[in-house]
Amino acid sequence: MAELSGLATTQFHRRRHPRIDLNLPVDYTMTIDVAPSLSTRTGTIGGGGLMLYFPMPVAIGTRMKLKIHLPDHAAISCTAHVVWTELLTGLEKNDFKTGVQFDQISEGDLGHLQTFIKRQQNPIQMPAGFGRGISE
C-alpha cells in the first residue's frame, strides 16, 4: 500500500521504518573487496535500509560499505548486508533490485536520515506563527 504525499511516495508494508521512493546517489564497496568504490542509485530509502539497483546479482548476506549522498547533508557512511534481490526485466535493462539492511550507522547519521525522510513525506511546512496577525 502506498500513499502519495508531496514529492515522495511513502510505502507502508510491515516495516518498522517508513520507506520512501527516492533516487539518491550511493557509493558502495563490498566489504571483502579492497577495490575502489563503485556508484549506484537508491530506489527506496528508509530508516532501516535501502533498495539499491545493481547491474549484477549480489548474494543474500553480502556485507558492504555504503556512502549515501543526501542533498542537504554530508554523505552518510554505514555498513549493511543484502537481505533480498530481484531481477528486473524489460524496460529496466536487466538491473537487479537489491534490498540492504543497515548493520552499523552512527546515531547522528541515523537521526539525520530519519529527519530527511520525514521532510520528504511532508515537504510543505509552514513557519511558526504563519497566518497570525492577518487583519480582516
- Band of residue 12 on the pLDDT scale cut at 50, 70, 90: very low
The residue that leads in pLDDT, 4 or 76, is 76
% helix, strand, coil for the chain, step of 5: 15, 45, 45
Say whether pLDDT at 47 is over 60: yes
136 pLDDT more than 70: no
Neighbours of 99 (CB within 10 A): 19
* Distance (Å) of CA 129 to CA 118, 119, 123, 124, 136: 21, 19, 18, 15, 17
Which pairs from 112-116 meet CB under 8 Å and 24+ separation? 112/70, 112/73, 112/76, 113/45, 113/47, 113/68, 113/70, 113/76, 114/17, 114/47, 116/70, 116/72, 116/73
pLDDT tens for 84-120 read 999 876 665 668 999 999 999 999 999 999 888 888 8
Provide the pLDDT for residue 92: 55
Selected residue with higher pLDDT from 33 and 118: 118
pTM: 0.73
Topology adopted by domain 22-120: Thrombin, subunit H (2.40.10)
Average pLDDT, the chain: 79
**20 close to 45: Cβ distance less than 8 angstroms:** yes
